[in-house]
Structure 1
């Protein structure tokens, strides 16, 4: 695994370029952040591979017992298209460290880097059959992995709708366990005492990072009424200076959406927001005649029951709303069927602690956003799924626990 990580590090430019070509991701960001993140995650779990152990159990009566952690077996990894490298290794690394073999199904939009990683794995000396990449569509290849009797577990990242199908297929076959990281509609709560410049940066980055094609995008931004007007003014200024264009251009902040289907879905939701009565503050238009580029889009006068406030758009579209009190902010933040992430911007530690304990989401960022690390577990509440990627907790998703019990016979010397 260490040698595999070293080879990935040596080929980070090629891998970043493949993800830029496939997914429209920024090449410079891929080279500086995504691929180094892959390397660090792989090394982290390589270091954990020989530190896995069970427990000695204190049983009542004359018995001695301990647990063994054994590889669950063959694992199916179904990867989405928005982070084809990072999300692959969030799952692949702990699976390898636990001793499992894997069948990887990359998204049909972004197969190139997964195929290149398998080539590097072979060069690193990972035996044939340990990492298997199967390209294809979800309806065929993904469905086959989910329902195959020879696969012992499935880990899936994608939409809630498809996650249900994965669960159903797994239950209908060999009742294999699944872990699901699904959709999100994450709130960002900005309180009156926030630094306006930092808060507007977080809000804009939170919805435009990776073109908004990220499950934890801060697509619902709630601003306390005392700073709301000033916040809106500063946010619009920054949004209008945001550079959208060629992902290989280092001056560009946001590349194209992954494909026409996603591009048209985002445009549909922008029109839907207008029809429902929200006010388009800025953006909302496609850019150029070639490619799938969309301006950063901000809606105000958004009501909680509007589709743009409830449904995952997966694009650079923000629903901006205001609140008065902490209780109101918490109530609004939890008014969603999702529970993947949330952000809080405040200088008040009591507010930060109260709100972070009250929001039902798998990860809460205070005065930051998109702060991921290989040591920090990541996953959702509610319809954002279950199970955790990253952290040592992720290793245990790829183990079976076996208990071993032996009697302790009485002895005249005891």
Structure 2
């Protein structure tokens, strides 16, 4: 158990909207409840923002934009650096807060706080590296001056599964670039973002640069802000279905967009793979965040010659995982986010079993309060099974076999998604060949975790647009301006 009080970390968070540097109740004093997914009990009530509150937040962001853009890059970076240090100082209490509202075990929550903080440290350094160019025109009669400027006020929408890291991954580059923001965290996990807003204010972020509006009506709040025309950038992390709707709305004002959408990650294990390493990687790729991650391995394709051994070893590992409330010592598998998540996972497993898949372990919910599902391994999962084409978002590992490299790649690429794929092989030429042919934005080569603040994160096909993190992450918040100089 943590030495930090559960009631204490919840009560310490301001429950109101953060607009223009001030905490303010929602219009009409409307509230929404935040629930502990491990118990079903209410943690607290917070302000439930309305479309009018959203407009007030955008007003504040627009009003602060010019002055913020004029801030020295070093100053913007120093704010981020102080925020990085503050996150690490408060890692234990922030992790507990996250576990209470989202369910992930404390050890994972602490890891997320460190990961989230890294985005602030990384973009603190990138803030002073925004550059441009100067060149002589090819005909020699003029000069080209190229500069980069903040895109302007941004709308940021974050998901519930990584409530702190998905916020810092967007807020960090926006601050570094000189953009103001309105951010809407997920309804299920708003407390981490409210705590982050307070930390940034303590670290000197000027009023109006970051505005946080919590709401139970995401569409009603965001669509008017998109159609308003003053916001010039939307960054969204969430489902592909919602991403499509947002893209349609953004077309009206030709708004710049970044979309980090769904995934259906294949995990390929070739006959020459180090099986123990592959199982270790499978556990990371599948069970990180209880499987509730867009990067989670969703489809395991294993060469037939090693499939039985791989399946046996993976089943042994999955069977030994302690299940329980994330605040309890030793727990590895916490609850899924809500009852809808439990229902979907249950439906997908039942569908696969009805189509001939064999359940090696798990395959059922856990009795008692909370949204718990057993770690599950299935073999012989046919392509017609729904889980072959739908995101599982739970602790379920479906295994199928293949005979040839081409067969494995055809199966891996047979999806509308293209976020990440995992490959285990000790053949260097095969590793390069398969990585290049895999239709994904990222590849985990003999590695089960790809996320890193210093690397570009994003997908192809219907997994999204743009990249977050790395040296290109800040470019999503910058516009390139060309100035033609004549008379020379």
TM interval, shorter chain, is over 0.9
Residue 181 of structure 2 aligns to a residue whose secondary structure is: strand
Which residue number in structure 1 is paired with residue 432 of structure 2?
A: 353
How far has the Cα of 1:304 moved from its partner?
A: 1.9
The answer to whether structure 1 residue 53 and structure 2 residue 53 are counterparts is no
Contact 1:28–1:248 (CA under 8 A) maintained in structure 2? no
CA distance in 2 between counterparts of 1:58 and 1:333 reads: 47
Structure 1 length as normaliser, TM-score? Answer: 0.95
Which residue number in structure 2 is paired with residue 412 of structure 1?
A: none
RMSD: 1.3
Which residue number in structure 2 is paired with residue 285 of structure 1?
A: 364
Which residue number in structure 1 is paired with residue 163 of structure 2?
A: 84
**Structure 1 portions without partners, runs of 5+:** 410-414
Provide Cα deviations, 1:253-276, integer angstroms capped at 9, x if missing partner: 111001112122211212222233
Alignment of 1:8-47 (within 5 A): 8-31=87-110, 33-47=111-125
Provide Cα deviations, 1:289-311, integer angstroms capped at 9, x if missing partner: 11001011122111223211111
Change (3 A) 1:144 1:21: farther
The answer to whether structure 1 residue 224 and structure 2 residue 300 are counterparts is no
Contact 1:28–1:250 (CA under 8 A) maintained in structure 2? no
Contact 1:209–1:254 (CA under 8 A) maintained in structure 2? no
CA distance in 2 between counterparts of 1:301 and 1:77 reads: 41
Match of 2:418 among 329, 339, 347: 339
**Structure 2 portions without partners, runs of 5+:** 1-79
Provide Cα deviations, 1:149-201, integer angstroms capped at 9, x if missing partner: 221110001000000111111112x2211110100110010111122222122
Which residue number in structure 2 is paired with residue 155 of structure 1?
A: 235
Which residue number in structure 1 is paired with residue 245 of structure 2?
A: 165
How many residue pairs end up in the alignment?
407
How far has the Cα of 1:145 moved from its partner?
A: 3.8
CA distance in 2 between counterparts of 1:238 and 1:94 reads: 38
Alignment of 1:196-275 (within 5 A): 196-275=275-354
Change (3 A) 1:263 1:142: farther
Which residue number in structure 2 is paired with residue 189 of structure 1?
A: 268
How far has the Cα of 1:129 moved from its partner?
A: 0.2
Which residue number in structure 1 is paired with residue 35 of structure 2?
A: none
Contact 1:135–1:141 (CA under 8 A) maintained in structure 2? no
Which stretch shows the higher mean deviation, 250-259 or 104-113? Answer: 250-259
Which residue number in structure 1 is paired with residue 47 of structure 2?
A: none
How far has the Cα of 1:48 moved from its partner?
A: 1.2
CA distance in 2 between counterparts of 1:210 and 1:144 reads: 33
CA distance in 2 between counterparts of 1:146 and 1:385 reads: 18
Which stretch shows the higher mean deviation, 311-320 or 194-203? Answer: 194-203
Residue 341 of structure 2 aligns to a residue whose secondary structure is: helix
How far has the Cα of 1:140 moved from its partner?
A: 2.1
CA distance in 1 between counterparts of 2:235 and 2:282 reads: 30
Residue 375 of structure 1 aligns to a residue whose secondary structure is: coil
CA distance in 1 between counterparts of 2:129 and 2:282 reads: 40
Residue 298 of structure 1 aligns to a residue whose secondary structure is: strand
CA distance in 2 between counterparts of 1:228 and 1:2 reads: 47
Which residue number in structure 2 is paired with residue 117 of structure 1?
A: 196
How far has the Cα of 1:241 moved from its partner?
A: 0.9
Contact 1:76–1:104 (CA under 8 A) maintained in structure 2? yes
Which residue number in structure 1 is paired with residue 11 of structure 2?
A: none
Structure 2 length as normaliser, TM-score? Answer: 0.81
The answer to whether structure 1 residue 405 and structure 2 residue 484 are counterparts is yes
Contact 2:284–2:449 (CA under 8 A) maintained in structure 1? no
CA distance in 2 between counterparts of 1:369 and 1:236 reads: 17
Which residue number in structure 2 is paired with residue 307 of structure 1?
A: 386
Contact 2:352–2:382 (CA under 8 A) maintained in structure 1? no
- After the TM superposition, which parts of structure 1 deviate over 6 Å for at least 4 consecutive aligned residues? none
Match of 2:222 among 125, 142, 165: 142
Contact 2:145–2:485 (CA under 8 A) maintained in structure 1? no
CA distance in 1 between counterparts of 2:298 and 2:192 reads: 28
How far has the Cα of 1:97 moved from its partner?
A: 0.3
CA distance in 2 between counterparts of 1:244 and 1:202 reads: 20
